[in-house]
Structure 1
Amino acid sequence: MSTTAVYSAPPNPRKRASVACNGCRVKRTKCDGSQPRCSACYDRQQDCEYTQAESNRKRHTNAYINALEARVASLEKQLAQRNGDPGTPDSAKGSSNCDHEEVTFVSTTQASQPDPNSTTSEEDMDDLTHALGCFTLGEIGELRYFGASSNFSIIHNHAIKVPSSIQARNRGIEAANNMPDFITPSDEMRDHLLEIFWRWQNSWQYIVPRELFVRDLYVEKNGRYCTPSLMAAILAMSSRYSPRLELRTDPDDANTAGEAFAAQAKTMLHYECEAPTTSTVQATALLGLYWATIDNEGLGFMYIGMATRMAMNLGLHCDCSPYASKGLVSDDDVEARNVTFWGVYVLDKYVNRGALTRFEN
């Protein structure tokens, strides 16, 4: 009796995912990335979870890559000019006083040469202060500023670890979503409150650039100029002008209008302050205005002071238009930074905090 050997086709080779699940990452085994459970976790009969935020190999954003490419091109051009013209004076060799410029770069908005007729040392100190201040690029291509008093302004860039604004924002959103009284306004309610904000609030206290915000909200939807925390702060402030009773936590108390939105913004800003962006400054300033309007001036002034400090931390007081001409930042970012800084500056003067005293950039 003859026997026929039966051969089964070899199983398909196990694929390897670009991002392994948590279990395979801990055990350092190959992961095929199958959903809802990868093959390895299925064989081990264990739960399979993917946490993208824990991967250190995640791809940088296009804005960050484009900013780096523009910076490299600018440095190559400067190097070519120096090599081609050995007699170039120092003033034409760039205004940077830092030796290491891979990503961190010194502001070109330095003070002009001191007046030879001046005998005071104050101008010399200002020149040195401006020379040592420097910028670095954040995770999504935004500028982060380190002033002269910071040791980060004179050390190698790779020693500077800028916190992730995206991760901080996501933690704030998650915390707000877990609030028991979290509410999501309808599109009609949102647009109603936004119209009130543009007409009655932002028209005199100009902090949020309307065109950039609206374009991000309805068209681009990338969360650069319209963030959840900023939206919540705007809705909280606008609710003060709206006659709709559903915006109040207590229908009989007008001071409770927008209270739920303010609580959501406060929760999100608690996390965003770890890695603030321009929109974080805007949201903090508006939330400070909100607290001040409901007879809580102390808390309101504190938030406005926080917005002032964050504006300084981001270097909003510095002119970054030279970086826009080099392609390091967009013209939209320049406009957003300028609008935000002067809005916070005027607001700080309005509440008579006196935190901002002198800016020469």
Structure 2
Amino acid sequence: MHSELLRGNPLGDPHERPIHVYLPPGYNSDTGRRYPVVYTIQGYTGHVGMWFNRMPFRRPFPELADELFATTATPPAIVVYVDAWTAFGGSQFLDSPGTGRYHSYLCEEVVPWVDARYRTLADRDHRAVAGKSSGGYGAMVTPMLRPDLFGALATHAGDALFEVCYQADFRDVARTLRDEYAGSYEAFLADWRGRLHGTKDSDLDLIETYGYAAAYSANPDGSVSLPFDELGAPVPEVWSRWLAWDPVRMAAEPRYAEALRSQRAIWIDAGTRDEYHLDFGAEAFRRAVSAAGVPDTTVHFELFPAKHGGIEYRYPLSLAWLCERMA
């Protein structure tokens, strides 16, 4: 699809984006039927083509979703796999002068594009967003920002409780910058752009932290402010900008609490051995959702024995639950 909102974005990333639309069994034969839609978004460094990657002894999510609709009584739905890749590896599905208008792209372009081309139930009560990790983050914040568009969500190990999931990394990133790049992110970026990603062990940690900063604390001119100093200590005025995007804190604000109360279904889960401690983030978001006044009957919360990766088997569980709630 062509995105006018991504045309001319700050990183020079493509404004033509791949999009995969899964149509459930019976779509072509029952031409009068309309369907709910689940928008599926990816974690950091995720590209839409990676949904079809096959790991040993495991099946990719599109196959698991197909099996769900083909062999169970789950109400059918359209599943849309959305691309929000950037040159930094992700966008957090936010509008940012450092990366581009990825929140608006999802809400104002992808959703209408799908509704115009497929037989959707084109209202917020039949539209959900789901994802894992940074995709789980997007699944939490997007319905809070646009409750008029999305009435259900599923977050798997989504980024939340920022002081737990992010802040501990600042000291390690600051040390790596000091030891390998004389404390300069500009030196890292110049080096990184001139070679294959991953040829240095520190590449992922450095670009991921910078990508988050580009989403949470970019400045109007497109420059990026880091949330920590050369000693790894938080810079209060920048760190506060990150915290303002923490789903746990957002849920406490009246306008976002009202948006959460309007949701028909909220699925929250994470692995108990998550390396980024996003099980704590999941629990904190569950508590924030409850404090916002969302009834317990609207929420599914679960911690399960797993790490951060290899949890694709959880996706059809939340997909089925969302479809049942939207049917």
Question: Normalising to structure 2: TM-score of the pair?
Answer: 0.31
Which structure has more helix as a fraction of its residues? 1
Larger radius of gyration: 1
Which structure has more strand as a fraction of its residues? 2
